[in-house]
């Protein structure tokens, strides 16, 4: 449950950052996760922000 929530939060932050840059979409999105300690994990969402042109 906590890992799932962390993934959702990472994706939400990725969307916010892309929107702040004026992007229309994020492509090539991926997750990176790892253990910090026995009871802590880190989750990051990476992607490429893109802007559509007419």
pLDDT single digits (tens) 1-54: 777 888 899 999 999 999 999 999 999 999 988 888 877 788 899 999 999 997
pLDDT for the residue numbered 12: 94
Domain boundaries, the chain: 2-50
Residues 34, 17: Cα–Cα separation, whole Å: 22
Residues contacting 45, CB < 8 A, separation 6+: 7, 10, 11, 13, 14, 29, 30, 31, 32
What pLDDT score does 22 carry? 96
CA distance 26 to 13: 12
């Amino acid at each position: 449950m906590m890992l799932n929530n962390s993934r959702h939060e990472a994706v939400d932050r990725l969307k916010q950052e892309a929107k702040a840059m004026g992007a229309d979409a994020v492509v090539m999105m991926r997750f990176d996760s790892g253990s910090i300690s026995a009871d802590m994990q880190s989750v990051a969402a990476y992607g490429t922000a893109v802007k559509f042109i007419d």
